[in-house]
Structure 1
């Protein structure tokens, strides 16, 4: 028997598969919105209000401690480029531990994978953070307490690096949480403990050695330096090595994907 040629090219099949998965991820994002925020009270506005409340609270604490200025960086913009962006990392990592458990029934569907669930949650957090940064920066600028990002593309690059690192870490945590419940108990305090070394409240350019060298080993400091360079046009750091955090992102992505694949066969849907 002669084989009939395939009706679709390999490229066509790939593009069709990608379009299907994009629709799946879009549906998962909508489901996550309804599950987390619902339709009561202010509904989806909590997407912006939640990080905004935390950022405003931290800003008030800094105001009460007296004048606050880092190399011409107003308090509002400094906190937004630091703590507001750290919420992105914290939320993605903290919510990874229950990703499989809370979406276990969805895995009955062949097209939905653990990776899709984690990616949908991560994209939702990234969108929430970007909206919060824009809204809060606009408010700060209106009261002369800050300003909008002056180099937005550079800031988005830093945010993407932070998102990618957190997402890679979330895949490892999600897989490990399926093996041991202890992981979930350790993740939440660990994210708070890493806040001082994350780079959210520090500037590499002004830190003395050897503390700068110690902190530079934690990859998020590289992302926050890029974010600050994007937020403040006059700030240029001599201690940014994007290749370093990119390497971490690639390693975590590969390890996370391999770990998820290994764990998937042990996930009981019933």
Structure 2
């Protein structure tokens, strides 16, 4: 499938960028078809998972009255925004874990590199998650909930920034998980604790100050708070939220992930 990309239609040599674009396009179509059409329930589960999670948390909120604890935002829209942002990062990590192994046969083509599988999967993921987010926004508006962003451009920027962190973490765990299988198990185990400690389902302002200081080392908290304040102009973010801190984490993970992909490229292809 990929050997035709080394040469153009008339047998002329193509530039490395042209070859890379062709490889990414072919892999993207392959991943998109596999993700959305192979499993008849694929689309259903992509929408049903966050919907079921939202309904469960609404029921819990009705019991503990958690909505009173959030200043400047309604509980349900607040949670939906945070949940979608967290799922974007989470799926960036989880989808990257098995990307190298599941595409091992493609490495027989010299044009395909292990990093390509991560980049393509994460690009497809952000497109799907964005579509699902828009569906949730439309559904919430029809139910009378105001979930439109007060600062649309800023919301798009932070959405991309959350995706960048997920991509960086995905690049790292894909290499680490291929080298040490136990890493994959650890990443899967920390999903639920990370969801709680990132302030997805309840406001972290209720934590004791000494504990909140440690929780704020988690960059996901900063990313979700910045996304929320772009949706709800009156929302009071957690004290200490920093876009600079989050940006340093996103750029650092991207740089480290790309360096690891380059350093262990041959070992990943030979596995």
CA change 1:128–1:61 in 2 (3 A) is farther
* Equivalent position of 1:115 in the other structure: 115
* Equivalent position of 1:53 in the other structure: 51
Matches of 2:56 and 2:107 in 1, distance apart? 39
CA drift at 1:207? 5.4
Name the one with the larger helix percent.
2
Matches of 2:38 and 2:259 in 1, distance apart? 37
* Equivalent position of 1:262 in the other structure: 263
CA drift at 1:258? 1.9
- Total equivalences in the alignment: 256
* Equivalent position of 1:29 in the other structure: 28
* Equivalent position of 1:251 in the other structure: 252
CA drift at 1:232? 0.7
CA change 1:125–1:54 in 2 (3 A) is farther
CA drift at 1:157? 2.0
CA change 1:222–1:99 in 2 (3 A) is same
Contact 2:106 2:112 in 1 (8 A): yes
Most deviating of 224-233 and 149-158: 149-158
Structure 2: 5+ residue stretches without partners: 1-13
CA drift at 1:95? 2.1
* Equivalent position of 1:84 in the other structure: 84
CA drift at 1:224? 0.6
Show the 5 A alignment for 1:1-270.
Answer: 17-38=16-37, 41=40, 45-46=43-44, 49-65=47-63, 67-69=65-67, 70-203=70-203, 208-237=208-237, 238-269=239-270
Task: Give me the TM-score of the superposition, normalised by structure 2.
Answer: 0.82
Aligned-pair RMSD on alpha carbons?
2.7
Structure 1: 5+ residue stretches without partners: 1-13
SS at 1:148 equivalent:
coil
Contact 2:23 2:111 in 1 (8 A): yes
Q: Deviations over 1:192-242 (max 9, x none)?
A: 221111232344666552233211111111101111011112225353211
CA change 1:38–1:93 in 2 (3 A) is same
Matches of 1:210 and 1:257 in 2, distance apart? 35
